[in-house]
Amino acid sequence: MVDDGHSILTSEKNVNGDNLTSLKWVQSSPLKNWSRQKLNRIRELILQTTGEAYEIDRLRNLPLDENFGNWILSDGDIDYGIFWAMRLSNTQARVLAFSVSEQLQSLGHGSRGWSKFAEAARMVGINHVQLEVRQDNSIAIQMYHRRGLRPKGYISGFYGGNDGWLMKGPLRNFASSQ
């Protein structure tokens, strides 16, 4: 488990009502080693944040890259976010899932998660990234746009009848105003 030593202070409370004093993006153990309960919680997180329902076994078998593709936002006990990505080639990665728990959104966690991923991916030669996003998800589309990704393909019936964009671009650690 990788720990960058940087804590994120927040005044939010977790599901038990305890104060969340320290939330960090950390690299996780392989999904195949996760308990069914841990996978089920993440399944619920994905369902709540995106409306997408995945089978536990499908999640368990995702081909996440062990160097840069398996991050969780954790207080050391409970998971509040995921950033999952896979390697497509020597230089290209694909983001498979990116979710932050609803009560913790818009606090900068997503931005920090992207940076952790980008930093780790660049270390192993990745310089381009792609992902799919629903066309009605304007917050995420703008977030990716500020990181240099652009719509490159239209995905009809992407999820639940909603259309999506394939977005691609150079891998940047941080947002820019462009």
Taking CB under 6 A as the binding criterion, the range among 20-28, 92-100, 121-129, 148-156 that sits at the site for ligand COA is: 92-100
Binding ligand COA (rule: CB under 6 A), the pick from 15, 139, 154, 173 is 139
Nearer to ligand COA, 32 or 59 (CB): 59
Phi, psi angles (nearest 5°) of residue 123: -60, -25
Q: Does 24 bind ligand COA (CB under 6 A)?
A: no
Subset of 145-174 contacting ligand COA (CB under 6 A): 146
- C-beta of 71: minimal distance to ligand COA in Å? 11
Residues 6+ apart with CB under 8 A from 106: none
Q: Does 51 bind ligand COA (CB under 6 A)?
A: no
Contacts 24+ apart (CB under 8 A), 114-119: 114/83, 114/143, 114/147, 114/173, 115/173, 115/174, 116/4, 116/25, 116/71, 116/83, 117/68, 117/69, 117/71, 117/83, 117/85, 118/171, 118/172, 118/173, 119/173
Q: Does 69 bind ligand COA (CB under 6 A)?
A: no
Q: Are 85 and 64 in contact (CB under 8 A)?
A: yes
Binding ligand COA (rule: CB under 6 A), the pick from 11, 33, 106, 156 is 106
* CA pair distance 126, 149, nearest whole angstrom: 14
Q: Does 74 bind ligand COA (CB under 6 A)?
A: no
Binding ligand COA (rule: CB under 6 A), the pick from 27, 28, 74, 99 is 99
Which residues make up the interface to ligand COA (CB under 6 A)? 49-50, 98-100, 105-111, 131, 133, 137, 139-140, 143, 146, 175
